[in-house]
């Protein structure tokens, strides 16, 4: 299985305060704008259908297009996927950059977060801020690019449109000064029987 963090990351007081505020918003069903292991993302509780619907509305995106969610561990993947193919753990272990996997048989997530075939896209984040946020929240967190659908994904915080910043309930303060360029994750679909399809390199 994927490597686990042997030690929790050391976070500054500013990061801890930022995470605590983000958690308050997530727990109340709100939307956050936050740094991830790839690009800045719009986030919400991935188990809350109303919050997920707000994300689709903010992005002006059809809810027929599934969204990616972040988790902090192998155990969380197993909680949200009925039967994780063995090959998934091998792929995760050998990945050299952030990797999102689309799994069949998703469960315990908001129904409007799933694709029409019942699959869901999950990524185990190793980046300290988003990892700690997922660990503390104890549920999957939606992570979709911080842009209106059809517009370019932001390479850094300064690239995010005011429309997006003003449309969430909390904008995280951490990592705003980084200027990338950031890259989106690779995406694989691993179906029943361990068949692997490359969706995005």
Question: Which two three-digit tokens encode residue 100?
Answer: 């999102």
Q: Considering only residues 85 and 3, tell me which one the structure prediction assigns the higher pLDDT.
A: 85
Q: Which pTM was predicted?
A: 0.91
pLDDT exceeds 70 at position 179: yes
pLDDT for 6: 42
Q: What is the pLDDT of residues 119-132, one digit of tens each?
A: 999 999 999 999 99
Q: What is the mean pLDDT of residues 77-103?
A: 92
Q: State the Cα angle at 82 between 77 and 83, rounded to 5°.
A: 85
pLDDT for 135: 97
Domains of the chain, CATH where assigned = 13-200 (3.90.870.10)
């Amino acid at each position: 299985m994927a490597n686990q963090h042997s030690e929790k990351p050391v976070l500054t007081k500013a990061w801890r305060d930022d995470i605590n505020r983000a958690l308050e918003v997530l727990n109340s069903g709100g939307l956050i704008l936050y740094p991830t292991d790839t690009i800045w993302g719009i986030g919400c509780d991935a188990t809350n259908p109303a919050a997920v619907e707000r994300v689709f509305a903010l992005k002006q995106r059809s809810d027929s297009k599934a969204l990616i969610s972040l988790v902090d561990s192998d155990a969380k993947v197993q909680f949200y996927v009925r039967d994780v193919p063995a090959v998934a753990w091998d792929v995760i272990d050998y990945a050299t950059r952030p990797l999102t996997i689309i799994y069949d048989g998703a469960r315990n997530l908001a129904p409007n977060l799933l694709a029409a075939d019942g699959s869901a896209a999950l990524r185990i984040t190793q980046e300290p801020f988003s990892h700690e946020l997922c660990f503390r929240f104890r549920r999957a967190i939606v992570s979709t690019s911080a842009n209106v659908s059809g517009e370019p994904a932001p390479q850094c915080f300064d690239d995010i449109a005011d429309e997006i910043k003003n449309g969430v309930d909390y904008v995280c303060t951490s990592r705003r000064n980084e200027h990338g360029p950031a890259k989106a994750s690779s995406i694989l679909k691993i179906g029943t029987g361990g068949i692997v399809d490359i969706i995005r390199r």
